[in-house]
Structure 1
Amino acid sequence: MTTHAPDTANFSVVRLPDRQPDGKFLPGTGGGRAKGSRNIVSAAAIAAIKSMSDTAIHQLREKLNKGDWDAIVFVLNRILPKGRAIELDAIDATTIASSLASGEVTPEEGAAITATIAKLNEIGELEQLRSRIAELERIAADETSRTA
């Protein structure tokens, strides 16, 4: 059985409008949802909540007050942010590594924790540098005023 290469003489290149030759959108020609626009699903959910009657909200409140776990889970799933709060005894590499190894923290959570710690350290270092620069400027100003 032999295979033949396709005859490329019969093919033509199709370019989509508003696209570069590599397929990317041209600058300023759309290519997605406008910044700040809402997701269709979230807009529909907000509209559904707004259209709920006072009776439905009152019934949900009664279920919550009675301790109906399904109603509580329903509300919390919509109110609380995705993910979970993580409590660690310390914020150091050993604690994070042991939490990862024991399964208390998922790899994604560990990555998020380490990225957050790195950013916080950068912010702290910047604040230290700013205060040191301000101190040096104050010293330079004092020296300048003494020599003048």
Structure 2
Amino acid sequence: MTLEAGNILEGIVVNITNFGAFIEVDGKTGLVHISEVADSFVKDIRQHLNEQDKVKVKVISIDDNGKISLSIKQANIQKKSVKPAEFDWGTPSKGATKIPSANFEDKMSKFLKDSEEKMQDAKKHQEFKGKSSKSKS
């Protein structure tokens, strides 16, 4: 494969610095910034890479001066098959009450009624706290 933005290639770590790693790909050297090494926060890049390691990198960009920006993180995302989360919309979540075969308007109406009741309870509780603290003074 050629050295073009978007391509995933294999390279060799030739140098490691505090801000990233220099990777040799197709006879040229590019930089993997520390933020592009792993999905999680990387404090010490040497915990993830060693010199002479073979790594898969994605070419992010090549600027007019020939600087090559690479990413290990994005190269690994490409090979993972991401499946959407499966969710059973028919099963109520913990603490929720299911209205059997209710349409959207019925569900919304029940939600608004429950919300209004909770707000009134909260206001009563707040008023009671306010009165009791004033009477102690």
Band of TM-score, shorter chain: under 0.3
Bigger RCO of structures 1 and 2 (CA < 8 A, at least 6 apart): 2
Normalised by the length of structure 2, the TM-score is 0.27
Bigger Rg, structure 1 or 2: 1
Greater fraction of residues in helix: 1
TM-score normalised to structure 1 length: 0.25
Structure (1/2) with the larger strand percentage: 2
